[in-house]
Amino acid sequence: MNGIRFFSNHLSKRHDILQTALRFTSTLVLAEHAGDKLNPITLKAVNAASNLGEISVLVAGTNITNVAEQVIAKVEQVKRVFIADHEKLKHQLPEYVAKTVETLQKQCKFDYIVAGASTFGRDVLPRVAAQFDSAPITDIIAIHSSDTFTRPIYAGNALCKVKTNAPVKFLTFRGTAFKSAKESGGNGKIEKAPESDFSFDGVEFLSEDLLKSERPDLQSAKVIVSGGRGVGSADNFKIIYELADKLKAAVGASRAAVDAGYVSNELQIGQTGKVVAPELYIAVGISGAIQHTAGMKDSKIIVAINKDPDAPIFEIADIGLKADLHKAVPELIKAL
């Protein structure tokens, strides 16, 4: 997976070459936000997209003038900010956001429509792409040229370089593979997005149950402590939380720990959970199945604590400790 680091290191050089070639191309970034807060993955998408021509951002929702003017318009590289404010967009359901993007695209004819590879981006982007007969490319980790990208396949066990000739290029970028755009220095022009037809009534938002936590967000945390089946029970998981508190870390989990009911699924890291790349990843009682390592193997330093010396996690760990986690973790907490 060295490839990922190689490509992102070279982005800045590529940037100049691409900028010349892409002077007349335009890119729409779909902003992901909650009220006044911009999801950090949008900054990554803006930065990745800055390699692909002049950037406009679409903000869809209700009461979004503030986040659009105070936050998004000031992001470096952002030239235009389109505001779509409508009651139907309140919960940013993909059906309505897609409709907004479709209407805007018919008017502005962007060359690229991009977003972060989050639930929001994955929901909306392909739905719009279908309207423009374009095959999307999801979860991009490197940009080689205006039409060539690298994305992981087979749970990150292979990298696939693809070239697209889709009429409109719909792309999602994996947040961990790109740096964030600066939140200052931009001076985006605010515009109203064209009115869309929101008569579609096939879907309705009912409620949400979001995990509230004092801990740092899993996907932007510098340190993550993760527990697996080896932790043994939901009760035992509190040593993971304690260690995380000491390190000001986010808490993650393997699928086994989620399925066993130790923690809720938002904490799952892996091929079908979240993909993370912190400075330090501590895997406690995790065997290291490929479905899990797909979500964390780009971490800078990986520490594994496991009593099974043959656990595959030790193959990718920088520091491995063969020990009973119920002894080692409390000792570690004490030492900190």
Partner 1 sequence: MRALVAVKRVIDYAIKIRVKPDKTGVIKENVQHSMNPFDEIALEEAVRLKEKQIVKEVVAVSLGSSKSQETLRTALAKGADRAIHIEVEEATAEKIEPLLVAKILRGIAETEKPDLIFLGKQAIDDDCGQTAQLLAGLLNWPQAMYASVIERESDKTFVVTREVDGGRELIRIKTPAVISADLRLNEPRYATLPNIMKAKNKPLEKKKPSDYGIEIVRQTQILE
Tokens in use for 72? 């998004």
Question: d(Cα 62, Cα 10) in Å, to the nearest integer?
Answer: 39
- Nearer to partner 1 among residue 259 and residue 308 (C-beta): 259
- Nearer to partner 1 among residue 57 and residue 98 (C-beta): 98
Give the number of other Cβ atoms within 10 Å of residue 236's Cβ.
16
With CA atoms as reference, report the closest residue to 33 among 66, 8, 2. Answer: 66
| DSSP 8-state code for residue 269 | B
Give the number of other Cβ atoms within 10 Å of residue 165's Cβ.
8
Establish if 87 lies at the interface with partner 1 (CB under 8 A).
no
Strands, sheet with 280-284, edge to edge from the N-terminal-most edge strand: 250-253, 223-227, 280-284, 301-306, 319-322
Compute how many residues bind partner 1; rule: CB under 8 A: 62
Residue 151, marked binder: no
Taking CA 316 as the corner, what is the angle to CA 310 and CA 322, rounded to the nearest 5 degrees?
40
Contact string (CB under 8 A) for partner 1, positions 127-156, x = contact: xxxxx-xxxxxxx--------x--xxxxx-
Instruction: Give the binding range for partner 1 (CB under 8 A) out of 17-25, 52-60, 237-245, 256-264.
Output: 256-264
Closest separation in Å from C-beta 188 to partner 1: 25
Instruction: Give the binding range for partner 1 (CB under 8 A) out of 23-31, 180-188, 202-210, 229-237.
Output: 202-210
Residue 138, marked binder: no
Establish if 1 lies at the interface with partner 1 (CB under 8 A).
no
Question: d(Cα 82, Cα 28) in Å, to the nearest integer?
Answer: 9
With CA atoms as reference, report the closest residue to 170 among 94, 118, 113. Answer: 113
Q: Which of 255, 287, 293, 302 lies at the binding interface for partner 1 (CB under 8 A)?
A: 255
Closest separation in Å from C-beta 80 to partner 1: 25
59 Cβ neighbours under 8 A, 6+ residues apart = 31, 33, 67, 68, 72, 81, 82, 83, 84
Instruction: State whether residue 132 is helix, strand or coil.
Output: coil
Establish if 209 lies at the interface with partner 1 (CB under 8 A).
yes
Establish if 123 lies at the interface with partner 1 (CB under 8 A).
yes
Establish if 106 lies at the interface with partner 1 (CB under 8 A).
no
Residues 156-195 contacting partner 1, CB under 8 A: 157-158, 160-166
Instruction: Give the binding range for partner 1 (CB under 8 A) out of 16-24, 71-79, 209-217, 321-329.
Output: 209-217
- Cα 231 versus chain centre, distance: 27
Contact string (CB under 8 A) for partner 1, positions 14-53, x = contact: ----------------------------------------
Tokens in use for 85? 């404010």
Instruction: Give the binding range for partner 1 (CB under 8 A) out of 91-99, 182-190, 279-287, 303-311.
Output: 91-99
Spatial contact of 166 and 160, defined as CB atoms under 8 Å apart? no
Q: Residues interacting with partner 1, by CB under 8 A?
A: 93-95, 98, 118-120, 122-131, 133-139, 148, 151-155, 157-158, 160-166, 200-211, 255, 258-259, 264-266, 271-272, 274, 290-291
